[in-house]
Homo-oligomer: A and B are copies of this chain.
């Protein structure tokens, strides 16, 4: 029966530049059986994360993660339910999250950031891949420990309509800062201001352009820049830093589609004259603090101070196309793919 087959999204070609639908395909394979120490997860949601793009390149692999191989399932974060277990720490019915593959069922052994979820029944479970998951936590810790926005400060967030940016921008608002979001369309600008409550949003693809838009919206400069993209956007932001500014070095989206490095920022000297701080971080260094952070974020969600902006795509076959759409700037908030449902009872 079809429930006993496993559908996997495989990498058909190493993307060159922006990922294309033809770079991905679906295959059906037999459902794997857990060996000793393993368990089988029925995936409920797959997470689409721009950060994984770089490991799709030919010859990728930087010691942090291996590069992805052709015709193999695409590596990704999943949220699912344990349906069979030969690992004593995991039992059927457990909700789990971790890094496996884009597939309807995953074998796991408890490594690769696998964690059990004590999901709050008042929050959609898919939020644990988004606002309460790695992207939301990335925004949370980056703002808490590096950005440190204060009331009245001006905070700039790139890819503000994305999974990380939408949470980072809202957290800065909760902290009382004036928040400007960068995004790639007028529609998303309206969404950021009207629905997420940002103070202003800037379409960096508009005729005005980024530099002029920043000069208009941040005439006194930027106190915090939450950088998800690197490249020319980071460079322009550096030119607008105020004294004592903090730059949260979170992601390099602008470079993920390229195999050669982007030109580096020209405005490095501003870091000195503005006494600025740039700092990188990895959310996985904060595992021990996840529960407390998730509790605070969930509290904000339930108080209506934070919106768990997400877009749910239906069906595993849509995974590749949705991933491509994300790189074309087509999503609002976190993109997840719904691929299965919880057992009843």
Contacts and interface: CB of A to CB of B under 8 A. Distances in A.
Contacts of A267: 261, 264
Nearest to A63: B273
Given A235-B264, A264-B235, A264-B264, A269 B252 contact: yes
A279 interface: yes
A62 interface: yes
Given A264-B264, A272-B281, A276-B279, 4 more contacts: A64-B273, A261-B267, A264-B267, A270-B280
A118 B268 CA distance: 37
Contacts of A279: 271, 275-278
A250 to B, nearest CB: 7
A295 interface: no
Given A275-B282, A282-B273, A268 B64 contact: no
A312 interface: no
Contacts of A285: 275
Contact of A250 (B249, B270, B272): B272
Contacts of A230: 268-269
Contact of A264 (B64, B252, B255, B266): B266
Contact-residue bracket for chain A: 20 to 34
B277 A278 contact: yes
A252 B272 contact: yes
State the 6 A-B residue pairs at the shortest beta-carbon distance, nearest first: A264-B264, A272-B280, A271-B280, A261-B266, A264-B265, A278-B278
Contacts of A273: 62, 64, 280, 282
A136 interface: no
A20 interface: no
| Copies assembled | 2
A235 B118 CA distance: 44
A274 interface: yes
Contacts of A251: 272
A29 to B, nearest CB: 33
A287 interface: no
A274 B269 contact: no
A262 interface: yes
A270 B249 CA distance: 10
Contacts of A234: 268
A176 B278 CA distance: 26
A270 B279 CA distance: 10
Interface string A248-260: 0111100100000
A271 B279 CA distance: 7
A263 interface: yes
Contacts of A266: 261-264
A141 to B, nearest CB: 11
Contacts of A263: 263-264, 266
A44 B62 CA distance: 56
Nearest to A281: B275
Nearest to A271: B280
Counting chain B CB atoms within 10 Å of each CB, the highest count among A249, A251, A255 belongs to: A249
11 contacts: A250-B272, A251-B272, A261-B266, A261-B267, A262-B266, A263-B264, A265-B268, A272-B281, A275-B280, A275-B282, A278-B278
Given A277-B278, A278-B277, A264 B272 contact: no
